[in-house]
Structures are given as C-alpha cells and as structure tokens.
Structure 1
C-alpha cells in the first residue's frame, strides 16, 4: 500500500530548525573532537533488549524499521542513532545547495510518496521534512535511542543473540543492549575526509568541511578557497556567491563529467501526475528505466556499451563546452571514460563559472599559511575561508564499530585487512542474524541509493522472518559463498569503468585494495537477486523446538 504525503513546506520558512547544530556535528563527525567524548563509569551500565536492533537512523534505518513493522509484523525494535535526530545524512549535511543528485520522486520510499516536491531535486531541509513525516507516521521517535555511540557488537553463540555496547554522547551513560537481530544501517558517506596539508594548524581564517557546515561564518567580502569539484562542490560553489564573497578560487583535484540538468518538463509532468498515486508510481518507473538505460556504459562489453558510453560522453562534453568558460575547458573536461566517477547532473554550476569572482585552477595545496595557501605551481593565494569538499572516508563508514562474530572472529579487523564485503550486499562472513542494509557494493553510478535500500530491506524481510518465527536460531552466509561473491564481484568490477585501469581514473568507488562501493551488475539484476533467497548458500541453525 502506498501513502502519499503533501508537505507543508514549513522547512522553507525556517530551514535552521531542519539543520544539525554545528557544535553537535563536530562532536559526532570530527575525529579531532572525539577526545571530548565522555564515558561515565561511575554509574551502572544500562541493560535493555529488543528483538530487532537497527544501528543508524537515516534512510536505511528508517526503511529497515518500516520493513520490520510492515512486513515482519514486529514492533519490538530499537533504532540507535548517534545524532540528536533521525534523518541521517539529510540531518547532518546542511551545506548551502545541499540536495540529492537523483530526482526526489525516485529518491524516496516507494510506499511513502510525495505529491508536492518543490523541485525535482529539493533542498536538504525539504528532504528532512519528508523524512520526519515518515518518522511521525510510524512513531519511530518513540523507538529511537538518540545520541547513542555504538562501540562494539558481539554475537553470543550460546544464546544466538547480539550484545551491543555503547554510550550516550550527551550523558556518558554506558549501555548494553541485547537483540536477536541487527540491521546495520550506518551508511558509507558519513565520516568527512580530512583536509590536512602542511601548516593547516597555523591557518588563522575559518575552515569547514562541506559535511560539517558552520552557518555562523560570514562570507561577505571574504576571499574563499574551495577544495574539490565533485558533487558537493558543484552545489556549494554557486550558493557561495549569494553570500557576496570578494572571490572564490576552486582547486580542482580531478575532473568530472557533468551532464545537463534534468529536463524541466519532468517537473511539469510530475506536477500533472502527482494528483494520483498511480501517476507518481508510473513516473517513478519511467525515471528508473531511463536511468537504467545508462548501465551498459559501465561495462567493457560490445556495441551497445560502446554506443551508450559514446552518447553520454558526447552529451556531457557538449554541455560543458557550451556552458563553461573556454578558459576552464582544459581544467574541467575529463579525458577518462565516462562513469569512472559518479556522474554530476548540473543545476547552475557550469553557468555560474562565468561570474568574474570565480577562478578555477588545476592545482593542489601543498602548504597552508596563516592567511593563504601555497599551490603545487608555487603560487600563493590569499584565503580568509577554506571550504573542503573532499568527500568521505568510506573505510570508516563501512565498519564504524567493532564486530565480533562466530568463534570470536573480529570481522571489522578482517574487513580492514581484506576489504569490506557482503554476500549479495546483504550478509557478511561470521555475522549471523546481522543484515547490512545498502551494504558493501550496493552503490551504482546511475541509480538511487533508496532503491538499493529497498532491495536490501526486501531480502532482510524474507530471511529475518525465519528467525523471528522461531524456525531458525541463527542464519549466516556460508564462508565459501561469501568468498565466491567477493572474488566474482572484484573480477567483474575490474572489467568495468569504476575507478579501474580500464576506466582511467581514481575514484571513491575503489581504494587500493578492493572496490567495495559499486554493484557489479545492473539494477534489474540487483532487484531480481534480492528477491530470490538462495537458502543453500546459508548456514541455518535450527531452534531446539523446530
């Protein structure tokens, strides 16, 4: 059953009420602030329990909670979230221009649609307003344990239950929570990558990462240096000009293919069809099919793949040459194969580059001084404010807490040594009754992460049902099937454009060890495989009564 929401757009009247406080964002996300975390060992550990524990309160966690309630008929669940509000990245990320790069009519739950998005890609605060409406409908705030920092989860093989340890960031109170099932929904794009060149500690101006934005900083009349030119930078730079800076110098770390904005007629069509729930679903499917048509360009296959790659490359380069000032063409237009990095759908970035206050350089910062930065070509640029759009540390996002599974195996350590992975993206080695929602290798270069979340939740519902109804005490992927998936995935991804020698670039899809971000098949295949549980691939431990 699909529910349709009509947003009040109260978030547009006062966006600040839909943004995390800067000091709270720093405390949770900036690892330099973690020394300030306080654990009160003078009071007893609080012990609680539930049948299902969900770690992470963003789109994945909320989706897992809805699945638990709707498909499993289970309301005994707890949502652990480290921030002071549910919402995940749409609560924590508040930088100017922050919006999804996927149209919101697809970047939303299939069962919870919106009839009046203000734009195809509405601003962060409107996305959070939507999330809060969903949270209120399912009364999830009553099940949430906010400001909860998880430190370790240990599987007890005698009880076949998980023991979760952590503490409250506000009070320092420790807790131990026991659960039959864990849904790990911690997300990957969470921990900001450090920007720490030589001399950074001597900088006298204001510094912020796009993922920890300080709205108290006044940009008017200031000289701003922006590091990076990925998805977030393409959104930030045009918005900064509205704050009337003296200048903005953007330092390009690598080039990106930028595609034209989504066509306006799609918004008109949405406004027309949004009167009917069926119309919203129909348009959603149209957007999905169009996006999926780009999939062949990611694979090193035959004529179709080469044609799709050529067509999209041509479309992007023509747009960039038409809208970007000629003096920046060599700096911004890539030469690697399209799809090697995540595609950027433009909004106003390329046309904004004609503003005389903006300069774009293909240089890196080698040193920071009190009021300036030194670049690789030896030049010095004055800086009052440095904005780092340097992305996120995926390794920390993959294993944000210690995981001790069967036979005392430290899976978080295993992931650090061998690279994170999860069988079919859902189940990890030696972690019974633990489900990864949008886990390793669930991302794509062209699709909506919410689609991956819903596929994961569908798989979770099918398998977890057998645990909750008492058929099995524990379910875990077999070691050989886990390794078979890992090896097959890595082999296929090496034959694709994702951050490989074939693609011709270095991207966040892949680190030095493995590519644990990108999905190796099409989204149609992902949907089909997620619906088909291969029970023979799983270790099934029956309950004593079954």
Structure 2
C-alpha cells in the first residue's frame, strides 16, 4: 500500500538526481529541501496506547512486563477479558481430573517459581489460585476490564491506530477503544466448540463439553459415552470409571500414552505430594530452589531430541512406549490394534494418561473407533450401524485450533480470519503480513509442545513491547512483516518439518502449523533479537530520520551521565 501524504515507507525509492530540464522533478526536490527537522532531543518518546485481548497467563505476564518496560507513565495499557475473572484456561476448564501434565515447577513464570505447590502435577483449582495470586501481586486489576468481549478490530492507516469494538457483557452495551498496538493474547485453549455431529442438540439426555462442565450432574449408575482421545478425554475417563454403569469411549485417533513428563521428579507418580518441610526449605533456600527448577526445565527441554525422525531417542521411545502401552492394556490384541499408534512418538502430542489405558481395559468400558453418523434422542448412531443408547454424551473434543482470530482483525486490506481460512501463514508465530502493529501470543507455529511453554509466552510479550518501544522512539507509525519474510519463514518451516515427526491430519505431506520448527530454546533465542529488517515500516514524517530531532541527546536535555561510555579496569563503578 502506498504511503499517505507526509509519510514515507522504508521501501520507497530515494529521490532521483535533479534534472534542471525536468520541472516536475525540480519541484519535488525543492519541496524536499524545505524540510525542517523536529525540535526535540534524539529518540523522544511519544505516548502510545497498548490494547491486550485476554487476561490469561499471557495477559497477566503482560502487566508485570509492562510496568518494567514502560516505567515512566507515557504508555497506556488496557486488557479486555470476556470472562468474569482472570487466568483463562484454568478458570474455564474444570472437568474431572483436569490438571497440569508437566511438573508444576515447570509451569510458572520464569522470573519466580512457586515453592508452595502441593504436588508435582497440580489440578486446575490450584493452578487457578496460583495464577490468580500472581495477577493480584502484579496489579492486573488496575488494567483489566472483565466481562468485556472484543468483537471487532480494524486498522486505521490514517491515524495509525487500531479501532476496537467491545461488548460489555454485564449490561450488553457496546463501547469503542483505540490504540497504536494490538496484542491478541486469547490463546489456543480458549474457543471450545461442539463437534460437528448431525442432531447433537436433539439428544435428550445430558450433553456436556469438557470446557463447559456441569459438576451438578450425577454419573452414578449412568451409561455414558466420551467422544475424543485427546488430553481432556484421557483425564476424564479414569475419573468416571468407578461411578458409571458403562462407558463407551469413541477413539477415532490413536494417542501415545506415555509415562509422566518429568517422572524422575515424582517417584510416586500422580499420587506424589511435597512435604511441608520440603516446601519450607524451598521457600527459605532460594539457591536450592532455583537449582531444582532448572533441573525440571532441563529435563523437559531434552525431549526435543525425540522429535527428529529416526533419531536414537525417537526409536527408543517408540519401542519403550509401545511395550508399556501393550502391558497396560493387558495384552488385549483388539485394544492394542485400536489404541497403540503406528506413527512416531510426538506426531500427536504424547499424553501421560494416569489410569487411562487401565480404564479402557476395564469390564464396563467399550472402545469404539467407528465414525459417528448422527446423534439420536437417546444416544449416538455409528457409521457401521451400531446404536449406543446412553444417559450422557461427553464431548472431549477440544478447541478451535485453526489459529483464526476469534473476532474480525482487519489490517491494511483483509480480515485475518479470511486470509487464514485455509492456512494460517504467520511470521515466526508472532505477527501477520498486512496487519500492522499486531502481535500474537501462541500464534501459528508457536512452540506449544517443544519444551518450556510459559517462558515462550513471556517472549511473545517482550517482543511486542520491543516493537512498541521502537515505534514510539523512532517516529514509526506502523510496522508489519514483509510478505517475502512470511514466505521465507513458511518455506523454512515446511522444509524442517520434513525432518521432524510432525505432520498434519494423518498426512505426511500435510503442512504443519501447530508446533514451532525447532526447540523451545531456539524460539527464545529468535524472539530475543527481533529482525526489524523483515518489516515494512511507515514513518510519521516524510523523512525517516526525523526522530534524530534537534541534535541533542536525551542526556543533555534531561541531565545524566554525559560520560557514560567511559570505563576503568578495577573501578567499582562504571
């Protein structure tokens, strides 16, 4: 898109040499010669407003990092959250057995651990309480607007701002807001959906979704069906086994059921708890606690080596996990053929299924792998003709993982939901071509299963704030990834995926837009050093160097160490 009058894009060509016979060119040259520099010191910051959508783990982190990054009060921040409280995933998901499947000490912010976790694999309520406590400590209440759902976001190139529409869910009124930076922190476990089963809403029994659980329903002596074989189903099934009369499990896809992540830190598995003396020691001895946290993180980051096809770790994992699954299924060949994967470990996210395989082998459980044809008033009809009559249908079918924004996001030309309808083509997971000043946490090809998770969320926020600082200090109206940079990242990503175990929808030639093409550590390194050369930039003034100002450095204008560049070996202060 051409720059507006008074702006200049860095991709514009320089003004040609003057030809005195070319009146138009001479006039253009004379106009440029009338330029007058701004009368402020170098890199004088302009005030801007940052809008964050979502107050889950990323949104909570954003508040702490905002206070550290912008301490002078010349940047505004607001968070819009559709729920009645913060923490996102751990507020919404409360199904039986819902818990963190990695050691909890690897599920905190990088800048502070939690010595008070009750056990290695904590449940949803304890996770909510911890992150709610962090939100209180960081002062999130000062910035968040609860029960405010963003319904539309549109970039206005003339003003250089995002125009946001929000519905106040408390009273149904609509409001508007605007800001120079928009951060979409809605996450990938946010928008749950019913499965596309004809007649599902006509079912006359109890219909539940794992992300919208009804704890009042009594499963005792009921016949139920659980649809799904992902992490939520794997946690739900063992919890219901002792109550239900009979349980049908619809397993259309196979999943590697593995030992616990970081099992060496939980000798008794899910039944492990930390003693009060251990928690007290961690709270008092910070060095010892940090060393323990590092060992847990290191263990998880080592899993990355398993993701290479044909690697020794991949081969060993496949053999060991297959053997363990067969033993846990009591060597039942029918169940083994239905449940044990024939693809590489890690292609679908492997899941520690405490008690899951044992439950599927129980006498009151039937595993079905057939497609569902339709729902009926009394249950489900399968494609091969079997009718399952049940009291309750549990849809453990997950979330919308298309990576399309949950609301219209219209950049320079197109709504991102339409642009990403068939394939979400991000720039390093964090941004999108044609969508200025827009940043995403957990976007397409974010390292969701590549090692450390929460530090990568933090890295997304730091990256967006680095862009905000560049924009406000260097006279930039907007920046957006160059289409060529997006193309190159997609090409690189697709190439590396050929060496890794991931492929999409059972197709080994399918494009992958779930995980990052590399380890989580590689992602952290790349996020820490933004490649601004990959961005198209539009400046506020026609001269890109106008932010140089009147020749003074800020230290001269504001006072400070005017010899900061001097050092002396052995001196205590530099």
TM-score normalized by structure 1? 0.82
**C-alpha distance in structure 1 between counterparts of 2:66 and 2:128, whole Å:** 22
Residue 312 (structure 2) aligns with: 307
Alignment pair present for 1:374 and 2:371: no
The offset of 1:479, in angstroms, is 2.2
**C-alpha distance in structure 1 between counterparts of 2:292 and 2:384, whole Å:** 50
Deviation readout 1:108-153 (Å, 9 max, x if unpaired): 2112321121222211011100111011011212311112221221
Asked if structure 2 preserves the Cα contact closer than 8 Å seen for 1:247 and 1:358, the reply is yes
The offset of 1:353, in angstroms, is 3.6
Query: Structure 2 matches for 1:222-241, cutoff 5 A?
Result: 222-241=222-241
Residue 505 (structure 1) aligns with: 506
Asked if structure 2 preserves the Cα contact closer than 8 Å seen for 1:112 and 1:134, the reply is no
Residue 86 (structure 1) aligns with: 86
Residue 569 (structure 2) aligns with: none
Query: What do you get for the CA RMSD once the two structures are aligned?
Result: 2.5
Larger radius of gyration: 2
Query: Structure 2 matches for 1:400-479, cutoff 5 A?
Result: 400-406=406-412, 408-417=413-422, 419-469=423-473, 471-479=475-483
Greater Cα offset, 80-89 or 483-492 = 483-492
Alignment pair present for 1:114 and 2:114: yes
Residue 142 (structure 1) aligns with: 142
Question: Could you say which structure has the greater relative contact order, defined with CA pairs below 8 angstroms and 6 or more residues apart?
Answer: 2
Alignment pair present for 1:317 and 2:322: yes
| Stretches of structure 2 lacking an aligned partner (at least 5 in a row) | 1-46, 268-272, 548-574
**C-alpha distance in structure 1 between counterparts of 2:96 and 2:418, whole Å:** 37
The offset of 1:384, in angstroms, is 0.3
Residue 532 (structure 2) aligns with: 535
| Stretches of structure 1 lacking an aligned partner (at least 5 in a row) | 1-48
Asked if structure 2 preserves the Cα contact closer than 8 Å seen for 1:208 and 1:387, the reply is yes
**C-alpha distance in structure 1 between counterparts of 2:485 and 2:434, whole Å:** 12
Query: Across the two proteins, how many residue pairs are aligned to each other?
Result: 483
**C-alpha distance in structure 1 between counterparts of 2:349 and 2:482, whole Å:** 33
- Counterpart of 1:285 (choices 288, 291, 294) is 294
**C-alpha distance in structure 1 between counterparts of 2:523 and 2:263, whole Å:** 30
**C-alpha distance in structure 1 between counterparts of 2:245 and 2:260, whole Å:** 28
Asked if structure 1 preserves the Cα contact closer than 8 Å seen for 2:265 and 2:296, the reply is no
Asked if structure 2 preserves the Cα contact closer than 8 Å seen for 1:341 and 1:505, the reply is no
Deviation readout 1:383-434 (Å, 9 max, x if unpaired): 0001011122212x5311111212x3333321225x2232122221122222
1:145/1:447 CA distance change after superposition, 3 Å: same
Alignment pair present for 1:251 and 2:250: yes
The offset of 1:199, in angstroms, is 3.3
The offset of 1:163, in angstroms, is 1.1
SS of match in other structure, 1:190: coil
Residue 63 (structure 1) aligns with: 61
**C-alpha distance in structure 1 between counterparts of 2:482 and 2:288, whole Å:** 43
The offset of 1:208, in angstroms, is 1.0
Query: Structure 2 matches for 1:342-353, cutoff 5 A?
Result: 342-353=349-360
SS of match in other structure, 1:497: coil
TM-score normalized by structure 2? 0.79
**C-alpha distance in structure 2 between counterparts of 1:110 and 1:71, whole Å:** 16
SS of match in other structure, 2:122: coil
